């Protein structure tokens, strides 16, 4: 059973779950977009070897 079902306020429930009041509002509204555990699929810097050095023999 969650804290809101027990009759606690949104603020109290957020404090118990250790996140902000605003995040609690987003969760209840259904607009919360969690990114925890998301695999990073973008590059943070250019690949220095991607320029193609050619094949050396």
> pLDDT tens across 1-37, in order?
588 788 888 889 888 889 899 988 988 888 887 777 7
Containing domain of residue 2, as a range? Answer: 1-32
Tell me the C-alpha to C-alpha distance, in Å, between residue 21 and each of 31, 36, 42, 45: 14, 18, 31, 35
Q: What's the pLDDT score for residue 22?
A: 92
Residue 39 domain-assigned (yes or no): no
Residue 16 domain-assigned (yes or no): yes
Residue 39 has pLDDT above 80, yes or no: no
Residue 45 domain-assigned (yes or no): no
Q: What's the pLDDT score for residue 57?
A: 57
Structural domains of the chain, count? 1
When pLDDT is cut at 50, 70 and 90, the band that residue 54 belongs to is low
Residue 37 domain-assigned (yes or no): no
For residue 13, with 0-12 CB atoms within 10 Å meaning exposed, 13-18 middle and 19 or more buried, which class applies? Answer: buried
Q: What's the pLDDT score for residue 33?
A: 77
């Amino acid at each position: 059973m969650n804290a809101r079902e027990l009759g606690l306020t949104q603020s109290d429930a957020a404090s118990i779950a250790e996140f902000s009041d605003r995040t609690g509002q987003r969760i209840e509204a259904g607009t919360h977009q969690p990114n925890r555990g998301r695999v990073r699929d973008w590059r943070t810097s250019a690949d220095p070897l991607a320029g193609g050095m050619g094949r050396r023999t």
